[in-house]
Amino acid sequence: VKPVVAVVGRPNVGKSTLVNRIIGRRAAVVQDVPGVTRDRVSYDARWNGRELVVVDTGGWAPDAQGMAAQIAEQAELAIAAADAVLLVVDATVGIQDVDEAVVRVLRRSNKPVVLAANKVDDQRTEAEAAAMWNLGLGEPFPVSALHGRGSGDLLDAVLAAL
């Protein structure tokens, strides 16, 4: 049985872009419009000879009031079915309320969590990634899902967490 890794986080942080990077092809839908991934979508992936299933999540409806609750609920379903969780945050905008809502769900789940500080496209943004230590989930892995920067170290950490 392949281990399942759920990719969670608020809209527009780059979850689907990161999933595409991990699965090595363009399959997950990436758009500038937040919330385009309506459901949880699973993909087969392989890293260092190990097979895994990566679950892209979304499900956000453009209802500002219920947004945090809906994201947390979507994340909760994916997390329940996962062996490990990859939490994606956007290093360029810092920690948001919705990030913290997802972190609360993660704490309750007791699943292993790896933290990806995404959109670290260059060296200059790495200091901003370090601010993600404040989420209390341990070491943030700086990555650029768009360019692939740091994704190898991140995947090593994901496999080590399984």
The binding site for GTP comprises: 9-16, 56-60, 118-121
Which of 5, 6, 8, 13 binds ligand GDP (CB under 6 A)? It is 13
Shortest Å distance, C-beta 49 to Mg ion: 28
Each residue of 41-58: b (16+ CB within 10 Å) or e?
A: bbbebebeeeebbbbbbb
Q: Does 150 bind ligand GDP (CB under 6 A)?
A: no
When the beta carbons of 8 and 101 are compared against Mg ion, the nearer one is 8
The residue whose Cβ lies closest to Mg ion is 16
Which of 24, 26, 31, 107 binds ligand GDP (CB under 6 A)? It is 31
Dihedrals φ, ψ of 132, to 5°? -75, -10
- What x-and-dash track marks residues 47-86 binding ligand GDP by CB under 6 A? ----------------------------------------
